[in-house]
């Protein structure tokens, strides 16, 4: 039987194909990378003609928040139940004054906010108003919930 | 001048190990950050910020996403299936959505309409769109905002 040839001290592996594949993979992942910005939702239940239904046993306390717009669509003023409010933080404080921070019966549970907005008001102000009336963020990251029921008045198109 | 004599090795072996380590780290990073979600997000829409807008824990059933965005002329358009449509023209498309739901044995009220409104659009036009949806029988609406991480 012939003697086996002795193995070399160091076997050189050709790394080129593996590095090619790896770089192809990196290129693919880099090109398909899409950063997703965290988004959140405000649930609003708005059936058509809900106000025309049967009278409820315990009708909610309705807080009317009116937002007027300037000629450029920027916020010009906020009123709550007819009285002026300085800004959205002041609106939140007024809501807390009505519902307190208890979410049970007699508090936020039985309160509804009706948003009456100028047609040309920029939508960013609506989200700010909903944020102000629906909760209060705490320094530890938790949120004290305020009013959950929010509705809109019908849109009034300027003539 | 004396000629420089080459006395280096005939073949230089470069140690590839650190480069391969880094490369695999990169691949691992990209694999973990790969996003498989089919969330409808049009980059043109600048969502309003809200500290209360925390991401939903579970995806919505039968979501229909309507994205409102002001075009370069300031006209509000609804981005729906990649097309930019004027708000009053959405009625036909919503009718189609309604039919699809009914054919699947569901009601329009079961669907959730996700409104991704740009902060610059007119509130009245968002309300007009919601009104058209209501007329088709949709009643569950979600106003979407971008989570504001600032304290």
CATH for B111: 3.30.420.270
The continuous run of DSSP H or E covering A56 comes out as: none
Residue B69 included in any domain: yes
B48 part of a folded domain: no
Mean pLDDT for the stretch of residues A71-97: 90
pLDDT tens track for A84-93: 888 999 999 9
* Chain A nearest CA to B13, separation (Å): 10
Q: Determine the Cα–Cα distance for residues B64 and B106; give it in Å rounded to an integer.
A: 14
Q: Is B58 on the interface with A (CB under 8 A)?
A: no
Closest CA relative to residue B144, chosen from B112, B110, B113, B116: B116
- Asked if B23 and A23 come within 8 Å (Cβ–Cβ), the reply is yes
Binned at pLDDT 50, 70 and 90, residue A122 comes out as very high
A40–B56 CB contact, under 8 Å: yes
The residue of B124, B136, B151 whose CB has the most chain A CBs within 10 angstroms, and thus the best one to mutate to test that interface, is B124
Residue A54 has which token pair?
A: 């049967």
Containing structural domain, residue B82: 62-147
Going by pLDDT thresholds of 50, 70 and 90, the confidence category of residue A2 is low
Look at A50-59, A66-75, A88-97, B69-78 and tell me which has the smallest mean pLDDT. A50-59
Tell me how close the Cα of A3 comes to any Cα of chain B, in angstroms: 30
Position with higher pLDDT, A70 vs A108: A70
The count of structural domains within chain B is 1
pLDDT at A50 over 60: no
Q: A52 falls in which pLDDT band (50, 70, 90)?
A: very low
A60-152: CATH architecture: 2-Layer Sandwich (3.30)
pLDDT tens profile A3-15: 677 777 777 778 8
Tens of pLDDT, residue by residue over B81-103, are 888 899 989 999 999 999 999 99
Residue A42 has pLDDT above 90, yes or no: no
Higher pLDDT, A83 or B58: A83
A126 lies within 8 A of chain B by CB: yes
| Distant-in-sequence, close-in-space partners of B87: CB < 8 Å, separation ≥ 6 | B68, B76, B77, B78, B125, B128, B129, B132
> What pLDDT is attached to residue A104?
52
Q: Tell me the CA distances in angstroms from B20 to A26, A33, B12, B29, one per residue in order.
A: 12, 21, 18, 14
The reply to whether B50 falls in a domain is no
**What percent of chain A is predicted at pLDDT more than 90?**
25
SS3 assignment, position A93: helix
Q: From the candidates A28, A117, A120, A127, which should be mutated to test the interface with B, based on the most B CB atoms within 10 A?
A: A127
CB-based contact, B98 to chain A, within 8 Å: no
- DSSP H helices, B37-146, are 90-103, 123-135
A39–B contact, CB cutoff 8 A:
yes
Domain residue extents for chain A? 60-152
The predicted pLDDT at position A135 comes to 87
């Amino acid at each position: 039987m012939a003697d086996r040839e002795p193995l070399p001290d160091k076997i050189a592996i050709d790394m080129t194909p593996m590095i090619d594949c790896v770089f192809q993979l990196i290129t693919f992942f880099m090109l398909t990378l899409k950063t997703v910005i965290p988004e959140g939702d405000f649930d609003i239940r708005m059936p058509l003609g809900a106000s025309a239904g049967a009278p409820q046993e315990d009708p909610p306390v309705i807080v009317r928040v009116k937002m007027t717009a300037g000629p450029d669509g920027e916020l010009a003023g906020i009123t709550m139940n007819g009285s002026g409010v300085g800004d959205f933080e002041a609106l939140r404080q007024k809501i807390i004054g009505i519902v307190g921070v208890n979410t049970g019966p007699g508090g936020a549970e039985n309160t509804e906010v009706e948003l009456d907005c100028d047609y040309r008001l920029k939508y960013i102000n609506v989200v700010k108003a909903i944020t102000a009336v629906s909760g209060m963020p705490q320094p530890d990251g938790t949120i004290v919930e305020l009013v959950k029921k929010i509705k809109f008045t019908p849109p009034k198109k300027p003539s | 001048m004396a000629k420089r004599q080459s006395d280096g090795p005939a073949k230089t072996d470069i140690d590839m190990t650190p480069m391969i380590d880094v490369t695999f780290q990169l691949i691992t990073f990209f694999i973990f950050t790969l996003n498989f979600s089919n969330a409808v997000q049009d980059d043109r829409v600048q969502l309003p910020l809200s500290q209360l807008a925390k991401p939903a824990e579970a995806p919505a059933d039968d979501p229909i996403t309507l994205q409102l965005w002001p075009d370069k002329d300031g006209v509000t358009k609804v981005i729906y299936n990649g097309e930019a449509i004027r708000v009053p023209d959405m009625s036909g498309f919503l009718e189609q959505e309604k039919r699809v739901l009914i054919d699947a044995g569901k009601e329009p009220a079961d669907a959730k309409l996700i409104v991704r409104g740009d902060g610059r659009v007119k509130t009245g036009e968002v309300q007009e769109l919601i009104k058209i949806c209501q007329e088709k029988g949709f009643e569950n609406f979600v106003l979407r905002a971008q989570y504001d991480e600032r304290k």
